[in-house]
Amino acid sequence: MRYLPLTPEDRTEMLGVIGVSSVDALFADVPQAARLDGPVNLPRRATELEVERAFAAMAKKNVAASETAFFVGAGAYKHHIPASVDHLIQRSEFLTAYTPYQPEISQGTLQTLFEFQTQVARLTGMDVANASMYDGSTACAEAVLMAARVTKRSRAVLSGNLHPHYAEATRTLARYMNIDVAADAPVPGGLDDVISQIDEETACVVVQNPDVFGGIHDLRPIAEAAHAKGALLIAVFTEIVSLGLIESPGAMGADIVVGEGQSIGVGLQFGGPYVGLFACRNDKSFIRNMPGRLAGETIDADGRRGYVLTLSTREQHIRRDRATSNICTNSGLMALAFTIHMTLLGEKGLKHLAALNHERAVELADALGGVPGVTVETGAFFNEFTVKLPKNAAAVTEALIAKGVLAGVPASRLWPDGGLDDRLIIAATETNTDADIALFASALKEVL
């Protein structure tokens, strides 16, 4: 017998308090096309062996990144991850560790988070970093909310070259916090004029560097313009490896730096789980308004070094209306993988990895630029750039799959109505070989 704690009268009373007529009305925001209009189309029963075979057959329909010439980026990148990373994160000391509420039995976890924060602060050129976020897009949204709290303003300016998934996540959270979000159209090969949109009501300006098309920009003029109006500059990145080669956002005047750390220690994993990075400058109002948690170093009663959760300003710890974040704790296991991989690389290793990525991308851009009808639009780039094709980019991408090349992300997939049907965003990393690049160029020539 099923246990149903609520009576029909209880449900009716609850719906009345909420102000809706039925349970179905609670799903009004879910598009009709996404709703199930009948029973789930699954067999009533199957053996474990039958289920395994069925899932294996479905998995074979995928084209794995390791099985083809892979040039897909636009927010998630294929990098080599040493086997030692996976081995170490599966050690029982880490794998069974949970939220470090009791510092006396969580020193290993807390020290790892402290090291992680140090690495993120060094990479971004900032003073303080938190213990991670869910991913880059939610970190971006949280940064805008933080800027609104710090400045006590309610307007955010987003660059048109910010990844649209990051922009959409930001709009979703900002909508319920009564923050007005302004954004221009994307500009492949350039950057929209965000400076002209800054006014006395602007809390922050959000600019991605390298941007979604791969372009690298000097953030100093934007930082100066924002600060002149009392606004903050939020710098965003999707490719953390780029900070091994290009100037850090902190050095260019950013107040808050957020982004995706997936490229270090974390595989593609069908889109997640990933690890969001969040850092800011050393200002009391900034630190008090940071989302997530912050691990700090201290000494115990005997004078020995120890680690504790210095700040945990989330609703699980404090009053909900005082919380800085209601969506995130931290991405603990992925932060651990990031920390281990970064430790293995070291400063020299990261710079070398970044140089390899840039070299591969330059070689690929030169090869594709030599194909008749193809124009490389991105001037200065790290390991990602955008090309303009004489045909529909989505159709070209589909044709290239048949030739063993996953060529990139058509811009029309990110902006379906943006008039960018002929643009293709392409990434190259240290995993791409000379043979991959030659195959891409020859296959593209044939398809065009």
Whether the predicted pLDDT of 311 surpasses 90: no
- All residues at 6 or more sequence positions from 411 whose CB lies less than 8 Å from its CB, including other chains: 186, 188, 213, 386, 393, 418, 420, 421, 423, 424, 425
| Average pLDDT across the chain, whole number | 93
Band of the pLDDT at 122, cuts 50, 70, 90?
A: very high
Percentage of residues in the chain with pLDDT exceeding 90?
Answer: 79
Please report how the helices 332-369 and 107-124 are oriented relative to each other, as an axis angle in degrees rounded to 10. 30
Cβ–Cβ contacts within 10 Å for residue 178, how many?
8
Going 285 to 291 to 297 to 298, the CA torsion angle's sign is: positive
Alpha helices by DSSP H, listed for 90-163, are 92-95, 107-124, 136-151
Q: What is the pLDDT of residue 338?
A: 97
Is residue 386 within 8 Å of 412, Cβ to Cβ? no
Q: Does residue 98 register a pLDDT over 80? A: no
Q: Which of 6-15, 63-72, 216-225, 308-317 has the lowest mean pLDDT?
A: 308-317
What tokens were used for 337? 């993988």
pLDDT at 140 over 90: yes
Under the banding of pLDDT at 50, 70 and 90, the label for residue 1 is low
Residue 227 neighbours by CB distance under 10 Å: 14
User: 237 with 210: CB under 8 angstroms?
Assistant: yes
The pLDDT confidence band at residue 320, using thresholds 50, 70 and 90, is low
pLDDT value at position 325?
Answer: 73
82 has a pLDDT exceeding 70: yes
- 406 has which bridge partners? 70
β-pairing, 155-158 vs 202-208, is parallel
What CA–CA distances, in Å, run from 376 to 99, 368, 382, 384, 394?
A: 47, 8, 14, 11, 17
Among 39-43, 237-241, 251-255, 418-422, name the one with the lowest average pLDDT.
39-43
Q: What is the pLDDT of residue 97?
A: 65
Q: How far apart are CA 319 and CA 388, in angstroms?
A: 51
Q: Which of 74-88, 286-300, 318-332 has the lowest mean pLDDT?
A: 318-332
Could you report the per-residue pLDDT of 388-399, keeping only the tens digit for each? 999 999 999 999
Better-predicted residue by pLDDT, 41 or 148? 148
What pLDDT is attached to residue 315? 59
Comparing 194-203, 238-247, 312-321, the range with the smallest average pLDDT is 312-321
pLDDT of residue 63: 83
- Which residue segments constitute the domains of the chain, with CATH numbers given? 65-81+346-447 (3.90.1150.10), 83-340 (3.40.640.10)
Q: How many CB atoms lie within 10 A of CB 415?
A: 17
**Segment 50-73 mean pLDDT:** 93
**In the prediction, which pLDDT does 94 show?**
81
User: How far is it, in rounded angstroms, from Cα 430 to Cα 356?
Assistant: 6
Tokens of 401: 């799959």
